Chains A and B, each alone.
Chain A
Amino acid sequence: MTATAEHPAGSAGASGGPARATRPIDDETARAIRGFEAYGDGDWDEITREAIGEERIVVNMGPQHPSTHGVLRLMLEIDGETVTEARAGIGYLHTGIEKNMEFRTWTQGPTFCTRMDYVAPFFQEVAFCLATERLLGITDDVPERASVIRVLMMELNRISSHLIAIGTGGNEMGATTVMTIAFTAREEILRLFEAVTGLRMNHAYIRPGGVAVDVPEGFTDQAREALKKVRGYLKDLGDLMLANPIFKSRLTDVGVLNLAGCMALGVTGPVLRSTGLPYDVRKSAPYCGYETYDFDVPVSKNADSYDRVVLRLEECYQSLGIAEQAMSRLDASEGEPVMVADKKIAWPAQLAIGSDGQGNSLEHIRKIMGTSMESLIHHFKLVTEGFPVPAGQAWQTVEHPRGELGVHAVSDGGTRPYRAHFRDPSFNNLQAVSVMCEGGQVADVVVAVASLDPVLGGVDR
C-alpha cells in the first residue's frame, strides 16, 4: 500500500528481484532437489515439491514479538510481502482477575481491576467504582471534590497512555527519538501519580464512594509545572512526526477502517473518531461531571493510522485543558471531603506519610483505638467484612484512551461482587486486525496494530 523504499522491512525490493519472501519453484531448483534424493521411489521429492511449490506461508508474529505491544500473537498468512489473512490470538496474559474479584470485597475490587490495562489503570478503577456506586444508589452523593480528582487523574492518565501509544508506535517504526521524548513526558505524569497515590501504576486509588486520600498539599502547583513541560514535549512530538515525509508515507492509508466497519466491529475510541464520528462517552453519557467541563472531541476524516496519531496528540491537548479546569476547581474546593459521608461505606482511612511510607495516620489510629470501642469495631468490620451492596446489576462505561470501557457489575446483596465483567476496548478492537491488515504488507501490520494501541493486560484480564 505504501512505498516500500523508506523502511527496512521493505528492503527486499532493493536486491533487484521481486519483493517477496517466497517464490514458486523453478525447474532448475527442482532438478537440484532431485539430486539430493536418498531413495529411489520419489516420495520425498513429491512432498518437497508440494511444500515449496505451495506459496501459502503462515507466520506466527508473537506472542513474544517486540512490536506487538506485549503478548499478542498474530497469525499471518503471507504471499511474498502481502498479508492474505491475519488472525489475532490472545489469552497469553489471562490471569482471571474477574474471577478473583468475586472473592474480595467491593473496596478491594479496584486493587484488582487497576491491573487489567496497566497503561491506563485509573479508568478501570473509576468505571468499577461508578458501577458500584450505581448499585449502592449513591451516584449523586459522591463529593464534588472526589469527582474532580477522578477527572484530573483520568485526564492525566489519558495523556500518559496516548504518549505510550505514540511513543511505542514510533519505536516500532524505528523512530527511537519519538519513543524517548514520549517516555520522558510520561515520566512527568507518573511522578504526579506517585505524589498523589504513592504508586506509579496499579494505584487502587479510586474507591467506591470517592478516592482513598486527598491530593497532597501544593499538588496543583507541582502539576501545573509538570504539565507545562508535558505541553512542550507534546509540541516536540508533533514537530518531529506530523510533517515528516517518512512518517507520513509509512502511516497514511495504512490500517484503514471506515465508519461502517467500526460500527459493525464495535470499535470505539480514536479509531472510531478517525472516521469522522464524534462519539465520546464523556459527551454522550457523561459521568464524574464531564458535562461541566469545556472540551472538544477531535475528529478527522481519513480513517487511517496517520489520522489516529494526529487525533491522539490533539486529545492530549484537550486533556491538558480539562486538567487545567480540574486543577482550578481543586484550588477552589480545598479541604472539602473526598469520600461519601455515609460511614457504612466510606473506608475508614486517613492516610499520611510516616517514617515507613504511606499508611494510616497516627492521629487517626489513636482516635479509633483510644476513644471509641464502637468505632474500632466498625473499622474492623468494614475492613474485614466490607459493606453490603443491594442486589441488582449495573452497567457503566467510561471513555478509555483506547475506546469505550464498560463494567458489568452484578451484586447478590453481599459484600463481594457476584460478577464483575470488564468490556475492555483493546479486547474488542483487536477483532479489527483482520480487516485492517489483510491485503496490506507485512510491515504495515506493525503500523496498523500500533494504531489500534492494544494493551494485552486489558485484553486478557
Chain B
Amino acid sequence: MSDENDQATQDDATPDKVTPDKTAQDKAALDKAAQGRAIQDKAAQGAGLPGSGAGGRPSDLERVGSHLEVVEVRHGMFGAHGSGDTSGYGGLVRPVALPGPSPRPYGSWFDRVVDVLTEVLRTGGVDPDAAIEKVVVDLHGADSAEAPQAELTLYVAREHVVPVCQALRDDQDLRFELSLGVSGVHYPHETGRELHAVYHLVSVTHGRRLRLEVTAPDEDPHIPSTTSVYPANDWHERETYDFFGIVFDDHPGLARIEMPDDWEGHPQRKDYPLGGIPVEYKGATIPPPDTRRVYS
C-alpha cells in the first residue's frame, strides 16, 4: 500500500495546496467520478489535483460547497508494487480525499453551536480561530443538515482541546454533558497530522450530537487529556494510547488496557501488520488476509 512513490507524490498534494476556489474543477472531477472510474482522466489530472474518492458524493459536496482534502495518493491496483503489473491498472493514480471544511451556513443547529462556542471561547480568553481549525458538515446523502444522518465535526487544535471541551460541557446553550468516548484513526500519509483522536459528545439536554477531531504528528504524539472534563474518557484514552500510541498528557494513569503491559507497538496503527499464517488446503495455500490483493 505504501511505498516511497506514494510518499513523494503526497508531498505535492498536501491539504493546504488545495484551495476552495478550485470548486469548479472539483465539480468537473466529481461528475466524471460519478460515472465510474475514469481512469484516463484521473491519470491526466495527476496527483496534485483534488479528485474524488471512488464513487464520490458529488451531490453532498456540491450542496455544502465543500472541497476535498487529499490525505493519500495511491497508484495501481490490487496492491501490486515494484513488480510487473499485468492487470493493466498500473498507471492508475487515485487520490484519497476526505471531506474538507464546509462553508457557512452549516444548517440546522450547527451554526448556533459554533457561534456560541466561539463566543464562550473568546470570553474565556481563548482565540476561537486558533482553537477551531475547521468545521466539517457531513450530510451523508441527505438534502439538508436537518436530516438525522447529518453530522457536525469540529477540528480542534490539540493545545485547546480541554478548554473547548469545558465550554461544550458547561455552557447552558451547548451542554454536551455526556462523552461517549474517544477513538483513534491513523493516517500515515497525512504528514504532520498522522494521528487523529475523535471525541463523540452528546447533549442530552438539547438532543444533539457532535464530534471533535484532534490531530497530532507522529513525531510528537501528545494530546492533552480530557479526563478532567469528561472522566468517562479515562478508559477510552487508555485504549487509544494502547492502539495508536497517542500520549494523553495529564491522564491519571495512562497504561495499556487491552494489550499486555509489556507489549511492543501499537496494533491499530496502519504500519502494524495484521499478522496471520497461510492456510493450506489440498496443496493450495490461501495467504493471510493482510497479504491478499487489495482493491482500494
List the interface of chain A (C-beta within 8 A of B): 90-91, 94, 96, 98-100, 102-104, 134-140, 263-268, 277, 279, 284-287, 385-395, 397, 404, 406, 408, 410-416, 418-419, 421, 423, 427-428, 430-431, 460-461
Contacts and interface: CB of A to CB of B under 8 A. Distances in A.
With a 10 A CB-CB cut-off, give which of B52, B59, B185, B202 has the most chain A CB atoms: B202
Interface in B154-202: 177-181, 183-186, 198, 200, 202
Interface stretch (B5-13, B105-113, B141-149): B141-149
27 contacts: A91-B256, A91-B257, A91-B259, A96-B274, A98-B268, A134-B149, A136-B141, A139-B142, A267-B232, A279-B204, A285-B148, A386-B295, A390-B54, A393-B185, A393-B211, A395-B209, A395-B211, A408-B198, A408-B200, A412-B296, A415-B295, A415-B296, A416-B296, A419-B186, A427-B235, A428-B180, A431-B235
Contacts of A404: 180, 202
A423 B290 contact: no
B138 A392 contact: yes
8 A-B pairs with least C-beta separation: A414-B296, A137-B141, A413-B53, A266-B232, A391-B53, A421-B183, A103-B289, A388-B54
B53 A390 contact: yes
Nearest to A277: B204
Contacts of B231: 264-265, 431
Contacts of B233: 266
Nearest to B94: A413
B134 interface: no
Contacts of B296: 388, 412-416
B99 to A, nearest CB: 5
A123 to B, nearest CB: 15
Contact of B99 (A90, A94, A392): A392
Contact of A90 (B55, B72, B257, B290): B257
Contacts of B27: none
A411 B256 CA distance: 27
Contact of A460 (B54, B59, B258): B258
A100 B290 CA distance: 9
A414 B295 contact: yes
A140 B147 CA distance: 10
A100 B289 contact: yes
Contact of A99 (B200, B235, B274): B274
Given A266-B180, A390-B53, A421-B183, 17 more contacts: A99-B274, A103-B274, A103-B290, A137-B141, A139-B142, A263-B177, A264-B230, A267-B232, A277-B204, A392-B98, A393-B211, A395-B200, A395-B209, A408-B183, A408-B198, A412-B71, A419-B185
B288 to A, nearest CB: 9
Given A94-B258, A391-B96, A397-B180, A428 B207 contact: no
Contacts of B268: 98-99, 419
Nearest to A396: B149
Contact of A91 (B97, B260, B290): B260
Given A391-B97, A431-B235, A96 B267 contact: yes
B88 to A, nearest CB: 15
